[in-house]
Amino acid sequence: MAVFPPTLDRLVQILSRLPGIGRKSATRIALKLMSSSKADCAELARAIVEAREKTLKCSQCGALTEVDPCRICTDPRRDRSVVCVVERPSDVIAFERTSRFRGRYHVLGGLLSPLDGIGPEDLRITSLAKRACTPEVQEIILALNPTAEGEATSLYIAKLLSDSSVRVSKLASGIPVGGDLDLADDLTLGTALEERREL
């Protein structure tokens, strides 16, 4: 016999698909919602739908935004000569939090992973190469996670850009190997950025 009514059971199932939320946490959240007011539940549902509907990827850098191009790409105070290459939109947020980067970004949307069938054409690499060829861009900073896939992707991009006049650099060590840029503290990330080395 089912423990929960079918609608509640469905809610638990959907919540447990979210990252970091197992069946136990999903059950706790669902039960908490059942004891909240209907107005609060409706507000949460509306916030999810509205955020999803209004948020899009910037056509220039790939970061999450509500206006295209995003505010970072169009900010006249940002240094247009430096582009920081990251894996995911959340990495942009991690760097912005450090307040130590004044250039612009390029989100790849993943890392090369032949075993998972992810090749260069699946990532925003062609658009990066195009950006790197514009005269205003003088330096590309590769800020990918120091995992096997991150290193392979950095090498691929460095090779691809080796014939261009753009300078290619990489984050200094300091980010734990296999670690997540997203979870690195602001100071570590800021220092890794400032002490980057040329490839």
Residue ranges that bind Zn ion, judged by CB under 5 A: 58, 60-61, 63, 69-70, 73
Beta carbons of 111 and 85 less than 8 angstroms apart: no
β pairing state of 56-57 and 64-65: antiparallel
* SS3 label, residue 56: strand
CB of 84 to Zn ion, least distance (A): 12
* Residue 171 CB partners (closer than 8 Å, separation 6+): 141, 142, 143, 192, 193, 196
Nearer to Zn ion, 64 or 148 (CB): 64
Q: CB 110 → Zn ion: shortest distance, Å?
A: 18
**Least Cβ distance, residue 143 to Zn ion (angstroms):** 16
133: left (phi over 0), alpha (psi -120 to 50) or beta: alpha
d(CA 82, CA 87): 17
Minimal distance, residue 148 CB to Zn ion, in Å: 28
Shorter beta-carbon distance to Zn ion: residue 12 or 141: 141
Of the pair 58, 175, the CB lying nearest Zn ion is at: 58
CB-nearer residue toward Zn ion: 15 or 70: 70
